[in-house]
Structure 1
Amino acid sequence: MSTARVPSGARDSRARYRRIVRFAARQLAIEWWHEILLPKVGLGRITKRTRARRMTRFARGFREMAIGLGGLMIKVGQFMSSRLDVLPPELTKELEGLQDEVPAESFDDIRALAESELGMPLERAYAWIDDAPLAAASLGQAHRARLTPADAADAGFTDVVVKIQRPGIDRIVDTDLRALRKVAGWLNRVRAVSERVDAPALVDAFAEVCRDEIDYLHEASGCERFAEEFADDDRVGAPEVGWERTTRRVLTLQDVTAIKISDVDSLREAGVDPAEVSPVFAAVMLDQLFSNGYFHADPHPGNIFVVPDADGSWQLMFVDFGMMGEVPPSTRRGLRQLVIAMAARDGAGLVQAAREIGVLLPTADTSELERALTKLFDRFGGMAFAELRDVDPREYRDFAAEFGDVVRTLPIQLPEHLLLVIRAASLTSGVATALDAEFNIWESVEPYAERLIRDESAGFARDLLTDGVENARLLWRMPKRVDALISRIENGDIAVSTPQVERRLSRLESALRRTVSAVLFAGLLVGGAALYGTEPTPAVVLMSASSLPLLHALFARRR
């Protein structure tokens, strides 16, 4: 009886799947023992004492597995290393160098895949291509090349960077996602996790991002859209796409490599002050999140260059558009409310913004959180952002401990569409701080908060004026309708059995006219006050005009 041979690819996939799942199961068992069982039997001090060591051991084990396996495990590790806000430093520090440890693929294998995709030998597709990779990533690698004279004439550029997928990456991604879904299913059975985050939904969102990343046609479209968004912004640049040499697995882009944004020494040698680059980079990323709504979700140092000009100016050049995000309108409104509430030192507004974004469930009792936020604002609210750097770090730790206790009691969840927003914000802060150790992200956020407050005030005034005019039109038409009703009564079209009806209708008509005047007065006065800070002349005209309907509302006699 013969036994069917299992293809080596299938065997490799099964071994890969088992390795990922075994690692996750072992770690979950360790955490269950230390974080749940030991505290229940009165040994919680052991849990606290060993937590840092356990995190370091887990991070090292994951790092070794990720480097050995590659694929999405590298992506997962990179994401964890960027979560400085929620993950312990023992874990993030161990994983922070993961991007630079991805081994390169054999060029012979890369060549075979590229020639299969392009339908011709590389010597015909390009005038020259470097067999040494410019960069190696988890899903593909990049090589410098030159277009043929004919292609260069059509494209308008000669030097290019060719991104080529790693062979078999589709199968690897499928295997890794299957393993991640298995682990997410386990996590979803843990109440402490399921009450705060929908782990399977997060994996689905991560899967969608990864599918987009391995489709280079999607990345090429993202590159062109990003360039269009910033076409009128001299601070930002993006490469052009060589569409004649671009497929789903091969991407040809104009070579725009320059000084890596994190290379502080090279920036200074080129006459560029890194401390000047830092706030511009932060402002560009904030523009993407709050204004454009379409943003680069992977702004790590390898994806951003500084291009100096001969006149001393410089430009930020973005590359690698495989991971792009789009902020839904509801989330953008919540983020705007969040920034405004922080600038206004409004704890209740901050909580409401968290509800709007979807971080807090609608049923959450937030009274303790509002109290803690109020206490925080009372202590730090009167201080400028620059002054916060001088506060004793122990005071920050005390507040962090208090907030941690409060937050752990709340049904907090992480909506999947926030993953890329959080990643972009974390990387932005990290890159800006690496450029300038004195940089404070809030100094870049504060101008946005002020602008958003002005925009919200003006929007409120416009909405109030619009609603006021519509209500005034409705109320102004009502007396005419009352007159028509009275005329019908006088003409005998409607029989009225009592003379009191006519007097009541007359008083109603007068009251409605005075109400119209009051509405117009309020709309003009509030609109003028809201516009006074930015448009003083129209504001004065509106407030002056409000006196006329006020006089009518106060002194008009009843008929």
Structure 2
Amino acid sequence: MARADRARYRRILRFAARELAIQWWFELALPKIGLARLAARGRTRRLTRFARGFRSMALELRGLMIKVGQFMSSRLDVLPPELTSELAGLQDEVPPEPFGAIRAVAEGELGASLEAAFARFDADPVAAASLGQAHRARLAPELAIDAGFADVIVKVQRPGIDQIVETDLAALRKVARWLSRVRLISDRVDAPALVDEFAGVCHDEIDYLHEAASSERFADAFAGDERVAVPGIAWERSTRRVLTLEDVSAIKISDTDGLRAAGIDPTEVAPVFAAVMFDQVFGDGLFHADPHPGNIFVTPRAGGSWCLTFIDFGMMGEVPASLRRGLRRLVIAMGSRDGAGLVEAARDIGVLLPSADTNELERALSALFDRFGGKGFAELRDVDPREYKAFADEFGDVVRTLPVQLPENFLLLIRAASLTSGVAMSLDPTFNVWDSVEPYAEKLVRDEGAGFARDLAGEALENVKIAWRLPRRVDSVLQKAERGTLTVSSPQVERRLSKLEAALRRTISAVMFAGLAVAGAVLYAPVEALGVTLMVASVLPLAHALLARRQ
């Protein structure tokens, strides 16, 4: 790496190491010695500090750090609001590159000056993103005739973005390897695999020719569909680092006031948008994986009609055949409220790691179906919050300790579904996404009817085999009972007894550690240096306590 790249790499790793150490101390170490309440007391402050620190670093470094922050800010479903609200600004506050640097990249790629390549090129950017920025321009008359449009948006990559992406990915892979050595994390998520998938998405995004091809493939999929429009591409002015598109700017889909002013009811837009998105997933399987409001316009047409215009096809996902089969089983299991079937579907999709305790998971899912199954979002909002708390108290440990991973393209599918639901509900607060999913779920089951029949036949055959072996198994159990060799295993009880025994063994060795830890944690906010010193000093008794636990 060059000096600047090495400095960037080390900056990311220093930030990650510091934050991981803080989280390990407060979220893992302190609760092990009975100080969970003390750790929880400052959790909001720590998360806010982390988010602010990350946002500051991302805005300084730009590149993939901004994209990572943008992704985290969109995961309102799994990340706490202390993180998402603080990082939300990264969606709109990406600083632009100086025009001189953008001009150099564009002219180097096109092999001509901007004045020669375009009839007009605006120096002020329309938008700035993590990997590039967009400028308005106008094609020369002869090119406009060939392209079929004159006004264009020119996307130009940031200078040196290829090396920045590689440096950032190297740092993220290093952090992922750190996480993979933490058993609590590695049992639940394959961090290196997630980074590899993220890397694939990023490499696609910095190849504008790949984005252009995806745009045309998307347009072909919706050819003749009056609901959807896609900008044309000026291939003569497009390269791997410069992409020239038809300017299709219209009403941003989240601009409800603008929609009403144009005579368009936002509540009518919501179901059409959801239907178009699900058409992609359940149709040919190619879907726009970044349908945030900035990438979708509502374009008025003559006669009071309108259509949805999609832009930015750098992040695309695809539903492979294996995932389609898993989704079919998932839909069937959810429809029949079958916890065991849902677990098997999750295994088919590849979400569950082999270490999953499926017995406890099946019990939790069955309880979930019994309590909340069949309810729409509006009904779920009316459920007594104490119901949710009771479920969380009973099955929280099972849910939090699920060993899961995200198979290829599943991360993009989750992102697309999450953004689709969020945009639709912003247009219509009463919108129920399940109403839009249901027709596609039914079609999916019909299309896979033969496979479903085979599944039923297989299950029937398996039931016959079980019935055939049942008398022998009953006889074996009775014989063991008569000989006094019958044993009953309860993994949950055994785990709790093991934890209790380990806690008793390390109690004495943890006393000194607890004293230093409490003092350090209490003094951390008012006197950070002294607090850190006491916490570092407690490492030795902590090591003794941990070694005693392993014996």
TM norm structure 2: 0.79
2:3 to 1, 6, 11: 11
> Is 1:336 aligned to residue 306 of structure 2?
no
Tell me the equivalent position of 2:133. Answer: 141
Out of 159-168 and 377-386, give the one that drifted further. 377-386
Tell me the amino acid that sits aligned with residue 365 of structure 2: L
- In structure 2, what is the Cα distance between the partners aligned to 1:363 and 1:379? 27
Tell me the equivalent position of 2:66. Answer: 74
Q: Deviations over 1:293-346 (max 9, x none)?
A: 111111111111111112122111110011111111111221232233223322
Any conservation in 2 of the 1:77–1:98 contact (CA below 8 Å)?
yes
Tell me the equivalent position of 1:257. Answer: 249
1:439 to 414, 431, 442: 431
Out of 343-352 and 228-237, give the one that drifted further. 343-352
Out of 416-425 and 303-312, give the one that drifted further. 416-425
Tell me the amino acid that sits aligned with residue 94 of structure 2: V
- In structure 1, what is the Cα distance between the partners aligned to 2:194 and 2:372? 35
Tell me the SS of whatever aligns to 1:22: helix
Tell me the equivalent position of 1:48. Answer: 40
> Is 1:57 aligned to residue 21 of structure 2?
no
1:28 to 20, 27, 30: 20
- In structure 2, what is the Cα distance between the partners aligned to 1:382 and 1:38? 40
Tell me the equivalent position of 1:229. Answer: 221
- In structure 2, what is the Cα distance between the partners aligned to 1:93 and 1:253? 33
Residue 459 of structure 1 and its aligned partner are, at CA, apart by 5.7
2:318 to 326, 332, 337: 326
- In structure 2, what is the Cα distance between the partners aligned to 1:252 and 1:345? 49
- In structure 2, what is the Cα distance between the partners aligned to 1:264 and 1:29? 44
Any conservation in 2 of the 1:216–1:249 contact (CA below 8 Å)?
yes
> Is 1:243 aligned to residue 243 of structure 2?
no
Q: Deviations over 1:133-158 (max 9, x none)?
A: 11110110001111111101111111
1:423 to 415, 419, 424: 415
Tell me the equivalent position of 2:278. Answer: 286
Note the 1:466-505 alignment, pairs <5 A.
Answer: none
- In structure 2, what is the Cα distance between the partners aligned to 1:101 and 1:211? 23
> Is 1:167 aligned to residue 141 of structure 2?
no
1:460 to 1:40, Cα distance in 2 relative to 1, 3 A? closer
Tell me the amino acid that sits aligned with residue 178 of structure 2: W
Structure 1: unaligned runs, 5 residues or longer: 1-8, 466-559
Residue 46 of structure 1 and its aligned partner are, at CA, apart by 1.4
1:464 to 1:13, Cα distance in 2 relative to 1, 3 A? closer
Residue 463 of structure 1 and its aligned partner are, at CA, apart by 9.9
Any conservation in 2 of the 1:386–1:443 contact (CA below 8 Å)?
no
- In structure 1, what is the Cα distance between the partners aligned to 2:374 and 2:255? 37
Tell me the amino acid that sits aligned with residue 239 of structure 2: T
Tell me the amino acid that sits aligned with residue 27 of structure 1: E
Note the 1:113-512 alignment, pairs <5 A.
Answer: 113-362=105-354, 364-383=356-375, 386-457=378-449, 460=452
Report sequence identity in percent. 74
- In structure 2, what is the Cα distance between the partners aligned to 1:413 and 1:359? 5
Tell me the amino acid that sits aligned with residue 247 of structure 2: D
Any conservation in 1 of the 2:187–2:355 contact (CA below 8 Å)?
no
Any conservation in 1 of the 2:189–2:403 contact (CA below 8 Å)?
no
- In structure 2, what is the Cα distance between the partners aligned to 1:384 and 1:15? 51
- In structure 2, what is the Cα distance between the partners aligned to 1:455 and 1:336? 10
Tell me the equivalent position of 2:490. Answer: none
> Is 1:39 aligned to residue 39 of structure 2?
no
Any conservation in 1 of the 2:378–2:430 contact (CA below 8 Å)?
no
Residue 51 of structure 1 and its aligned partner are, at CA, apart by 1.9
Out of 383-392 and 228-237, give the one that drifted further. 383-392
Out of 300-309 and 199-208, give the one that drifted further. 199-208
Structure 2: unaligned runs, 5 residues or longer: 458-551
Out of 277-286 and 241-250, give the one that drifted further. 277-286
Tell me the SS of whatever aligns to 1:278: helix
Residue 392 of structure 1 and its aligned partner are, at CA, apart by 2.5
Superposed CA RMSD: 2.0
1:267 to 1:171, Cα distance in 2 relative to 1, 3 A? same
- In structure 1, what is the Cα distance between the partners aligned to 2:170 and 2:415? 23
Q: Which has the larger radius of gyration?
A: 1
1:108 to 1:366, Cα distance in 2 relative to 1, 3 A? same
Residue 27 of structure 1 and its aligned partner are, at CA, apart by 0.3
Out of 80-89 and 62-71, give the one that drifted further. 80-89
Any conservation in 2 of the 1:140–1:163 contact (CA below 8 Å)?
yes
Residue 50 of structure 1 and its aligned partner are, at CA, apart by 2.0
Any conservation in 1 of the 2:188–2:353 contact (CA below 8 Å)?
no
Any conservation in 2 of the 1:217–1:248 contact (CA below 8 Å)?
yes
Out of 56-65 and 358-367, give the one that drifted further. 358-367
| Count of aligned pairs | 457
Any conservation in 1 of the 2:102–2:159 contact (CA below 8 Å)?
yes
Residue 173 of structure 1 and its aligned partner are, at CA, apart by 1.0
- In structure 1, what is the Cα distance between the partners aligned to 2:395 and 2:427? 30
Tell me the amino acid that sits aligned with residue 85 of structure 2: K
1:43 to 1:463, Cα distance in 2 relative to 1, 3 A? closer
1:202 to 1:121, Cα distance in 2 relative to 1, 3 A? same
Tell me the SS of whatever aligns to 1:271: coil
Any conservation in 2 of the 1:197–1:415 contact (CA below 8 Å)?
no
- In structure 2, what is the Cα distance between the partners aligned to 1:47 and 1:323? 39
1:45 to 1:253, Cα distance in 2 relative to 1, 3 A? same
